[in-house]
A = this chain, B = another copy of it.
Amino acid sequence: MLSWLPIASASDFSIHNLPFGIFSTANLSDPRVGVAIGEQILDLAAVADRAVFDAFLTVEQRDVFRRTYLNDFIRLGRPVWQQVRSVLQAELTDPESVLRSGSDQVLVPQANATMHLPVQIGDYTDFYSSIDHASNVGKMFRDPANALLPNWRHLPVGYHGRASSVVVSGTSIKRPNGQQLPKGEVLPVFGASQRLDFELETAFVVGKDTPLGTSLTTADFDEHVFGMVLFNDWSARDIQQWEYVPLGPFLGKSFGSSISPWVVTMDALAPFRLAGYVQDPTPLPYLHETNPLPNLDIQLVVGLTPGAGGNGAEETIISRSNQRFLYWSQAQQLAHHTVNGCNIRVGDLVASGTISGPDRSSWGSMLELSWGGTEPIALVSGKTRTFLQDGDTVTFHGYAEKEGIRVGFGAVSGQIVP
């Protein structure tokens, strides 16, 4: 597929991708729905005005492109997501497209746009589905010989996160205060976290409501999931370690989580599916995978840029991981999440948990990369880090690539401020 629009071959936003997001500009100050293409954004409200969706969307339905979140568009259902995407692919490759003449009225340079939170998030859930991450944490905090807890290989362990503090890429993250128990002490102290960390994750966005009391199977995944984003589950390890027994992480996480602004559809990611882990023991029947290719080959890259002053603003790639390192697939997460009858709603965010691979170069948190703060991470500037310092910026990139086709997420980025 070749577009009449110039698109760099290395662009995350190829004609094969077409991710959805919410943008505004100085002229279009009300946030609205856009689709990323190359270095541009297709303004879907303006595109709809050229009648290209009239065959399958009513006037009322076309109004979803003027909303401040994607939720109403997503609620139209998978056939509509697919039709919109395929109409846009057709128009962008058709030299005679109605979008081409006066294209400056339907296209906005990404450089001129402000991106907003793409979905209104009802609930945000965080899983813990990377076996290497769970093993690393278990080795550090519990028993190296029994790093995984007894339930880990039987179910995708997960917990509820805070939805209110999920922010879009580019939002600064304020170093949190909280209680910490200094090593060897019995009384906690209060202060700014000294062990501030990122967690390399992805998340999927729920695409269809379920009623309370119903369950989904792994086979329901395609119909019920809209797309994916990159996800940084910022973590204050010292606060977390003191508070987390027995009810799990709370203030060690709820000060902020960052997501990338473009939601890449599961349809765009379909060519990059691959086999999952061999799961031993075999999970209970409700977790059986019906998709022979339940996992995804998505490259994940973590860059750390020291902030404050001088010439230190050089990025070091400190981890290269991959979505394929998830032991529990997204479809298994969905089946598990709803097996008790818990309802899900359009816009809910379901995150993977930190994605670490088997090699140290692929670990997805500073906790792991610095082995609990004992082995500093070298940066290209000659500096080192165990945990994040004020002014540091963490940026994740994610992309799938195969046979010259690239489908990327862009970036999720956030800077630590005091």
Using a CB–CB cutoff of 8 Å, the interface residues on chain A facing chain B are 122-123, 126, 128, 149-151, 154-155, 157-165, 167, 174, 176-179, 181, 186-190, 212-213, 215, 236, 239, 242-252, 254-256, 281, 284-286, 336-337, 339-345, 348
Contact = CB atoms under 8 A, between A and B. Distances in A.
11 contacts: A126-B247, A157-B246, A159-B247, A160-B160, A160-B254, A165-B212, A187-B281, A188-B284, A246-B248, A251-B342, A255-B342
Contact of A174 (B151, B155, B213, B285): B213
Copies of this chain, whole number: 2
Contacts of A249: 159, 247-248
Contact of A340 (B128, B251, B341, B344): B251
Tell me what chain A mostly uses at the interface: helix, strand, loop, or mixed: loop
Given A163-B163, A243-B151, A249-B248, A284 B339 contact: no
B164 A239 contact: no
Contact of A128 (B239, B247, B342): B247
Give me the 10 closest cross-chain CB pairs, A-B, nearest first: A248-B248, A176-B340, A159-B247, A160-B160, A254-B342, A174-B213, A251-B340, A247-B248, A255-B340, A255-B341
A336 B242 CA distance: 14
Nearest to A348: B164
A162 B164 contact: no
A122 B160 CA distance: 13
A177 B217 CA distance: 13
A174 B254 CA distance: 30
Contact of A159 (B160, B177, B256): B160
Nearest to A342: B254
A60 B200 CA distance: 45
Contacts of A160: 159-162, 250, 254
Contacts of A123: 162-164
Contact of A167 (B163, B212, B281): B212
A139 B161 CA distance: 28
Contacts of A251: 336-337, 339-340, 342
A215 B128 CA distance: 29
Given A159-B250, A190-B284, 8 more contacts: A157-B247, A160-B250, A178-B340, A187-B281, A189-B284, A247-B248, A255-B341, A255-B342
A254 B179 CA distance: 28
A263 B151 CA distance: 40
A30 B341 CA distance: 28
Contacts of A164: 122-123, 212, 342-345, 348
Quick one: which of A155, A246, A249 has the most chain B CB within 10 A? A246
B341 A151 contact: no
A233 to B, nearest CB: 12
B341 A176 contact: yes
Given A159-B250, A251-B339, A340-B255, A179 B284 contact: yes
Nearest to A137: B246
Contacts of A245: 149, 151
B343 A246 contact: no
A418 to B, nearest CB: 11
A248 B245 CA distance: 8
Contacts of A157: 243, 246-247, 250
Contact of A165 (B151, B215, B242, B343): B343
A236 B340 CA distance: 10
A81 to B, nearest CB: 22
